[in-house]
Amino acid sequence: MSTPLLVRHPTPHRTESLLGYVLRLSENNGYPSPWSVYRLAGMRQNEMRTTGIRVESLAKIAGCPVSQLDGIAFAQSANHQRCSRLLGHRLVPTDLNVTKPKLCPQCVSEKGFIEAHWHLEIMVACPIHQCLALSTCPKCGKRLSWFRPGLLECKCGGNLQDGELPSISLSEASLLDAIRRTVLALPVPAENLASLPQDQLMKMSLHSLLAVVHTLGKHRMIANRSTSWNDKRRAVEKASHVLMNWPQHFIELFVDIGQRLPVTTAGGVRKQFASIYHALFKSEAIRPREDADFLKVAFLDFAMNHWGRGFVDRKLVKVLGTNVAKRYLTQTEFATQIGVEQSTVARLLRSQKPLRGE
């Protein structure tokens, strides 16, 4: 028996959410919910709630090549659910959200489909319309479900475009814009109104970028004595503040962390700031290591020019590779010692004041 095809089968977009695509298929064919599409594809109920959706069965009923759906799938295969991915970017499973939908109704209305970046836990708001994401129905107030009649229609019949969404700050929108563009492989924006290190952020792999955002958000909250570390909205708010006016707020973060250290804390800068230092420069989450070069340069700027307590110790010199005994470092020396390409250092330092040993 041959597998039945759906009557209407629009092709998936390169940047589309896989679950959003199934919902679009379902809506196009007039079904009340994507259950019908999954049933037609012969898929089990529990399969749709995981990242291991078998795209082969879906491709058959949607009449599209498996490779096209594979490009927007969440796992390499149903047997490799631990290696989560999003549009080909490798991710830790906790960064991915496939069960609790959120979206920007205006974006969905304008584009006609749901973009894949909404599957990231960190995407709490829309960088294009600068508003919080919608995760509950404006009519019934219930949490949105993937099993609803349409892209912009709730199970209760409510229109997801009804109602205003709270706005977000420029720095939050700029950081989320960099994340969205990284996910969708879009170019670096021409403007940089929040003065983020956006070229460097967008050069990072997605998993490094997310790790940097988590680390900076968390340590900004620790420095503020806040405990809501798991609140994604707060993490975005704080991380975007740290990255804004680069590298001024980043240096301020280290100054603030430093002020909380007991006066008796002796030793080198690396030891004093061990927690954030390890998270940014030693963690397996930020790979390749070159992804963190621009953070290293800013950290050295802090250590040499803004921190009067404690010394830039030999280990730090060795690890970060710079010779602070020299009062002035040429770019070439600095590049050799820090272990990055000279062109990288030149680019990184262009907007910063010269690095000087105190």
Rounded CA Rg of the chain: 23
Query: How many residues does the structure list for the chain?
Result: 358
Query: In this complex, which beta carbon is closest to Zn ion, that of residue 118 or of residue 254?
Result: 118
Helix (H, G, I), strand (E, B) or coil at 206: helix
Work out how close the CB of 275 gets to Zn ion at its nearest, in angstroms, rounded to a whole number. Answer: 35
Q: Is 137 in the site for Zn ion (CB under 5 A)?
A: yes
Q: According to CB under 5 A, which one of 111, 139, 289, 347 is a site residue for Zn ion?
A: 139
Stretch binding Zn ion (CB under 5 A), from 98-106, 217-225, 256-264, 309-317: 98-106
The mark string for 144-163 relative to Zn ion (x by CB under 5 A, - otherwise) is ----------x-x-x-----
Verify cis geometry, omega within 30 degrees of 0, for the bond prior to 288.
yes
Burial of 328 (0-12, 13-18, 19+ CB in 10 A): exposed
Number of residues located near Zn ion, criterion CB under 5 A: 12
In the complex, minimum distance from the CB of residue 104 to Zn ion, in angstroms, rounded to a whole number: 3
Structure tokens at 258: 């430093």
Residues 338-357 that bind Zn ion (CB under 5 A): none
Task: Give CA–CA dist 299/75, Å, rounded.
Answer: 36
Rounded least distance, CB 179 to Zn ion, Å: 14
Per DSSP, the residues of 178-191 read HHHHHHHTPPPPS-
Contacts of Zn ion in 108-127 (CB under 5 A): 126
Which positions from 158 through 217 interact with Zn ion, judged by CB under 5 A?
158
Please identify, using beta-carbon distances, which residue of 107 and 253 lies nearer to Zn ion.
107
Token pair of 72 as six digits: 């927007």
Tokens of 340: 């990055």
* Integer Cα distance of 253 and 249 in angstroms: 6
Rounded Cα gap, residues 340 and 324, in angstroms: 16
In terms of CB distance, is 128 or 304 closer to Zn ion? Answer: 128
CB of 147 to Zn ion, least distance (A): 12
Per the structure block, which two tokens stand in for 80? Answer: 């490799």
CB of 223 to Zn ion, least distance (A): 31
d(CA 322, CA 147): 56
Least distance (Å) between residue 127 CB and Zn ion: 8
For Zn ion, the binding residue among 140, 193, 255, 346 (CB under 5 A) is 140
Is the CB of residue 64 less than 8 Å from the CB of residue 78? no
Site for Zn ion in 298-327 (CB under 5 A): none
CB of 246 to Zn ion, least distance (A): 25
Question: Interface residues with Zn ion (CB under 5 A)?
Answer: 104, 106-107, 126, 128-129, 137, 139-140, 154, 156, 158
